[in-house]
A = this chain, B = another copy of it.
Amino acid sequence: MKNKVGVEISENVLKQYGYQPFAGTKIGHLISQRVAPAVHVMAGPSKVATSLADVVKNNVRDGMTISFHHHLREGDMVFNQVMQLIIDEGIKDLTLAPSSLTNVMNDMVIKAIKAGTVTHITSSGMRGSLGDAVSHGLLPNPVIFRSHGGRARAIETGKIKIDVAFLGVPNADEMGNANGMTGDAAFGSLGYALMDARYADKVVLLTDNIVDYPNTPASINQTQVDYVVKVDQVGDPDLIGSGATRFTKDPKELKIAQMVNSVITHSPYFKNGFSFQTGSGGAALAVTRYLRQAMIDQKIKASFALGGITKPTTDLLDEGLVKKVMDVQDFDKGAADSMHKNPAQQEIDSSWYADPFNKGAMVSKLDVVILSALQIDTDFNVNVLTGSDGVIRGAIGGHQDAATAKLTIISAPLVRGRLATIVPKMTSITTPGDSIDVVATELGIAINPARQDLVKQLSHIPGVPVYTIQELQQKAADIVGQPVPIQYIDRPVALAEYRDGTLIDVIHQVQE
A30 and B41 in contact (CB under 8 A), knowing A222-B352, A223-B351, A346-B217? Answer: yes
Most chain B C-beta atoms within 10 Å of own C-beta, residue among A42, A222, A223, A356: A223
Oligomeric state, in number of copies? 2
A175 and B223 in contact (CB under 8 A), knowing A40-B29, A346-B217? Answer: no
Q: Does B226 lie within 8 Å of A359, measured CB to CB?
A: yes
Q: Does B303 lie within 8 Å of A212, measured CB to CB?
A: yes
Q: Does B35 lie within 8 Å of A224, measured CB to CB?
A: no
Q: Does A31 lie within 8 Å of B39, measured CB to CB?
A: yes
Interfacial chain B residues near A39, Cβ < 8 Å? 31-34, 156, 357-359
C-alpha spacing A352/B220, complex, angstroms: 11
Q: Pick out which of these stretches binds chain B: A13-21, A360-368, A371-379.
A: A360-368
Q: Does A43 lie within 8 Å of B31, measured CB to CB?
A: no
- Is A296 engaged at the interface, CB distance under 8 Å to the other chain? no
- Is A326 engaged at the interface, CB distance under 8 Å to the other chain? yes
Q: Does B42 lie within 8 Å of A326, measured CB to CB?
A: no
Q: Does A223 lie within 8 Å of B358, measured CB to CB?
A: yes
- Is A27 engaged at the interface, CB distance under 8 Å to the other chain? yes
Interfacial chain B residues near A221, Cβ < 8 Å? 348, 352
C-alpha spacing A199/B205, complex, angstroms: 25
C-alpha spacing A47/B344, complex, angstroms: 23
Contact with B along A280-300 (1 / 0, CB 8 A): 000000000000000000000
- Is A450 engaged at the interface, CB distance under 8 Å to the other chain? no
Q: Which residue of B lies closest to A47 (CB)?
A: B360
Interfacial chain B residues near A38, Cβ < 8 Å? 31-34
Interfacial chain B residues near A348, Cβ < 8 Å? 221
Q: Does B31 lie within 8 Å of A324, measured CB to CB?
A: no
C-alpha spacing A499/B273, complex, angstroms: 48
Q: Does A365 lie within 8 Å of B175, measured CB to CB?
A: yes
Q: Does B364 lie within 8 Å of A43, measured CB to CB?
A: yes
C-alpha spacing A223/B30, complex, angstroms: 15
A359 and B45 in contact (CB under 8 A), knowing A36-B33, A343-B217, A365-B214? Answer: no
**Residue among B35, B175, B344, B358 making CB contact with A360, cutoff 8 Å:** B175
Q: Which residue of B lies closest to A45 (CB)?
A: B365
Interfacial chain B residues near A45, Cβ < 8 Å? 364-365
Interfacial chain B residues near A41, Cβ < 8 Å? 27-32, 356-359
- Is A104 engaged at the interface, CB distance under 8 Å to the other chain? no
- Is A505 engaged at the interface, CB distance under 8 Å to the other chain? no
- Is A218 engaged at the interface, CB distance under 8 Å to the other chain? yes
Interfacial chain B residues near A324, Cβ < 8 Å? 214, 216
A359 and B34 in contact (CB under 8 A), knowing A29-B42, A214-B346, A216-B344? Answer: no
Q: Does B33 lie within 8 Å of A40, measured CB to CB?
A: no
Within 8 A of B (CB), among A221-269: 221-226
- Is A481 engaged at the interface, CB distance under 8 Å to the other chain? no
C-alpha spacing A156/B223, complex, angstroms: 12
**Residue among B31, B217, B304, B365 making CB contact with A40, cutoff 8 Å:** B31
Q: Does A356 lie within 8 Å of B43, measured CB to CB?
A: yes
- Is A485 engaged at the interface, CB distance under 8 Å to the other chain? no
**Residue among B40, B214, B356 making CB contact with A359, cutoff 8 Å:** B40
Interfacial chain B residues near A359, Cβ < 8 Å? 39-42, 47, 176, 203, 222-226
Interfacial chain B residues near A36, Cβ < 8 Å? 33-36
Contact with B along A204-219 (1 / 0, CB 8 A): 0000000011101110
- Is A323 engaged at the interface, CB distance under 8 Å to the other chain? yes
Interfacial chain B residues near A356, Cβ < 8 Å? 41, 43
- Is A355 engaged at the interface, CB distance under 8 Å to the other chain? yes
Contact with B along A326-359 (1 / 0, CB 8 A): 1000000000000000011010100110011111
A360 and B44 in contact (CB under 8 A), knowing A38-B33, A38-B34, A351-B223? Answer: yes
Contact with B along A311-325 (1 / 0, CB 8 A): 000000000000110
C-alpha spacing A226/B32, complex, angstroms: 13
A27 and B40 in contact (CB under 8 A), knowing A222-B359, A352-B223? Answer: no
Within 8 A of B (CB), among A87-144: none
Q: Does B343 lie within 8 Å of A216, measured CB to CB?
A: yes
- Is A483 engaged at the interface, CB distance under 8 Å to the other chain? no
Contact with B along A404-441 (1 / 0, CB 8 A): 00000000000000000000000000000000000000
C-alpha spacing A33/B161, complex, angstroms: 14
- Is A449 engaged at the interface, CB distance under 8 Å to the other chain? no
Further 16 A-B residue pairs, CB within 8 A, beyond A32-B38, A39-B359: A27-B43, A28-B41, A31-B41, A40-B359, A41-B359, A176-B359, A203-B359, A212-B273, A213-B304, A214-B324, A214-B362, A218-B346, A222-B352, A222-B362, A223-B352, A223-B358
> 12 A-B Cβ contacts within 8 A?
A27-B43, A29-B41, A33-B39, A40-B359, A44-B360, A47-B359, A176-B360, A212-B303, A213-B303, A214-B303, A214-B324, A225-B359
